[in-house]
Amino acid sequence: MNEINAEQELLLIKQIMEDSRKIVDDGRDMIVWGVLVAAGMVINFINFENQYFVQTHSYG
């Protein structure tokens, strides 16, 4: 009975690995998101350094 369970578990693991390979494809989506996030961070840094931010509170 243990051999049957072990074989079923191995088949399940193999199926999960094959399914995850289909999802990842070639990684182009991750590269695009990485570039977008990096661009957003650079723009945010430039805005902060040049004080191009919106003041939400007025004190006075």
**What DSSP string runs through 27-51?**
SHHHHHHHHHHHHHHHHHHHHHHTT
What is the DSSP secondary structure assignment for residue 26, as one 8-state letter? T
pLDDT of residue 28: 83
User: What does the domain layout of the chain look like in residue ranges?
Assistant: 25-60
- Per-residue pLDDT averaged across 6-15, rounded? 90
What is the DSSP secondary structure assignment for residue 8, as one 8-state letter? H
Contact 8, 14 (CB under 8 A): no
Q: What is the mean pLDDT of the chain?
A: 81
Residue 10: in which H helix or E strand, if any? Answer: helix 2-24
pLDDT of residue 22: 66
What's the gap between Cα 53 and its chain centre? 27
The model scores a pTM over 0.85: no
The predicted-structure confidence for 28-51, as pLDDT tens digits, reads as follows: 888 899 999 999 999 989 888 887
pLDDT of residue 39: 97
